[in-house]
Structure 1
């Protein structure tokens, strides 16, 4: 599974616990794709922690590339049976960096003083502010996401007005007159960028 999901939504602790119990009952590994984990952990309403993932998942990773690191992810193996000869498998498949300590240093720098959680939480707050601006104009979203990804339903005219100044991902048509776009904030999004986008949304 992914945390956050591909639509920016969250699993609750109760949901993840239930999934974990099913996996253990049927002897299946639970793997959590955490490419956007920082944005999930920082989202309003989230009740999961890194410790919960360590307790409930067999394997998960802490996203780096999308959450402020220069490259890479931090893989966490919690099942003792999985880590047997894991380093050897990494070598066999060409997944060991000659200067691997650089990867670890990034995560130490991001995590040791809470920077990782602060910058991803800020991105969530920016995204929610953008969503509120759309709502103020009577523009709805496809799903309610508390994270840095927002899926907005625009008329084709509104989409054309925004794409003259902004780059966003078109997710496809909703009907003949409307399209869904994905707007993302990130750890590097600036306040002034959000201010300008909000102003342009309110002028649609």
Structure 2
């Protein structure tokens, strides 16, 4: 029997509309390195959505985008502030440190950074014997599926500007955050409150690709140099441009994310109703459930998922839904979890 797949949101090839668009252009030729008509049209779509004359760059993947953005923004002695669970701190193989930049971590509150901890970190580093905190990194949605509210992001942005810090938002799952029931932020507001942010396509229906959006005029020069130097410039950049045209057309990116969220939140609600405890309450398409070792040993043979934490008497597992997840697969998983 084929296993159910709740392992991640990038296990399927791509949304059919994306593949159809690529197929339409099989006989066409394009300029290289993202300097093509398809990428220009996709850039215009992004600018229209965020209502800003930002610089827009199409990159290959999330870790690459984070490394490029942070390396571009910081001088050699400058550092990043992030929560301990931040993707750059735990899941990117030291990519940021490899560029020479220290990550100053703070405890997350429901997966999120709080302004008070930003200020405390800045105050700890006041002379030339330590690094200079210069950029705050956050993820929306966070690594545990929670989202930032407009009030939270506004306060973080204010603190950053008061302390001469850049605010960078890792938006690998920003589409899921935007359609979360807990969200009250818009893309134009995110653009106004941040200096740089990304919108991820890899985890939301594309073959690959992230959009890096640079809103701060001081950071706009020479981004393409940073992209090239850090190995992120795709010669066939038009492949990203064509995909992102479809991604943003008729808000497909939001429809795909909404589908994933609805299924995940339904699964979360049903599992709580069955008596399972949650490691954290998610607002988006990742859910974290505590299960017994007996249940784990049964489940691993019929379902793909990630193990998030191990304890003596239980295992925390992560179930993730995507644009390709079927409602009937969620129902099958619920039935398995009943027994």
Is structure 2 residue 248 aligned with structure 1 residue 111?
A: yes
Give the 5 Å matches for 1:167-186: 167-174=304-311, 176-186=312-322
Cα distance in 2, alignment partners of residues 117 and 7 from structure 1? 20
Q: Is the 8 A contact 1:20 1:30 kept in 2?
A: yes
Q: Which residue of 1 aligns with 2:180?
A: 43
| Aligned residue pairs, count | 202
C-alpha distance after superposition, 1:50-87 (max 9, x if no partner): 11210101000000100111111011000001011222
Q: Which residue of 2 aligns with 1:193?
A: 329
Please, which runs of 5 or more residues in structure 2 have no aligned partner?
1-137
C-alpha distance after superposition, 1:88-143 (max 9, x if no partner): 33233332222212212211101121111011111011011111221121101111
Give the 5 Å matches for 1:143-158: 143-158=280-295
Cα distance in 2, alignment partners of residues 92 and 197 from structure 1? 45
Q: Which residue of 1 aligns with 2:163?
A: 26
Cα distance in 1, alignment partners of residues 225 and 291 from structure 2? 50
Q: Which residue of 2 aligns with 1:73?
A: 210
SS of residue matched to 1:153:
strand
Change (3 A) 1:137 1:93: closer
Cα distance in 2, alignment partners of residues 32 and 112 from structure 1? 23
Cα distance in 1, alignment partners of residues 258 and 202 from structure 2? 16
> If the length of structure 2 is used for normalisation, what is the TM-score?
0.58
> If the length of structure 1 is used for normalisation, what is the TM-score?
0.94
Q: Is the 8 A contact 1:140 1:153 kept in 2?
A: yes
Q: Which residue of 2 aligns with 1:11?
A: 148
Structure of higher RCO (CA pairs closer than 8 Å, 6+ residues apart) = 2
Q: Pick which of 73-82 and 156-165 moved more.
A: 156-165
